[in-house]
């Protein structure tokens, strides 16, 4: 497992750290990670991406666009992304979740989210 933080030269800063990612990995079920083995805390700003969510799994990498977004929001989004594959919640288009898919995933991740944000 590798956690990479891309360097940035201007604000906003990353809102999540390697320590936060390690804490998430430690509390989730082992099968949530699957084939992914890289967590990349990206220097890219979310608003400059074409994504509708700031955390996306792309093959073996979880790409985390945390700059300028609240830390707790990023933790929640990472937990949701981690839960997609083991729950077989496949977005109908690209990486876009439906409202009902997102609601089910949010309910599932809440116990982990609450532990991490206490």
Question: What's residue 80's pLDDT?
Answer: 95
How large a percentage of the chain has pLDDT more than 90? 75
Say if residue 80 is exposed, middle or buried (CB neighbours under 10 Å; 0-12, 13-18, 19+): buried
pTM for this prediction: 0.93
The pLDDT value recorded for residue 26 is: 95
Give the pLDDT of residue 40: 97
pLDDT attached to residue 112: 97
Q: If you write DSSP's letter for every residue of 38-103 in order, what string do you get? A: EEEE-SS-GGGSS-SSSEEEETTEEEE--TTS-HHHHHHHHHHHHHHTTTT---SBTTBPPHHHHH
Instruction: Give the Å distances, CA to CA, from 51 to 56, 81, 87, 96, 105.
Output: 8, 13, 21, 8, 18
Asked if residue 1 has pLDDT above 90, the reply is no
pLDDT of 43-95, one tens digit each? 999 999 988 899 998 888 999 999 999 999 999 999 999 999 889 887 777 67
Q: Domains of the chain: which residue ranges?
A: 2-117
């Amino acid at each position: 497992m590798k956690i990479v933080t891309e360097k940035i030269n201007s604000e906003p800063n990353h809102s999540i750290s390697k320590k936060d990612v390690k804490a998430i990995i430690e509390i989730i079920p082992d099968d949530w990670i699957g084939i992914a083995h890289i967590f990349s805390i990206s220097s890219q700003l979310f608003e400059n991406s074409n994504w509708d969510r700031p955390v996306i799994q792309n093959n073996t990498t979880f790409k985390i666009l945390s700059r300028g977004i609240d830390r707790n929001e990023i933790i929640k989004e990472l937990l949701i992304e981690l839960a997609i594959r083991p729950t077989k919640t496949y977005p109908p288009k690209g990486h876009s979740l439906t409202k009902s898919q997102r609601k089910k995933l949010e309910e599932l991740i809440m116990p982990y989210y609450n532990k991490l944000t206490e």
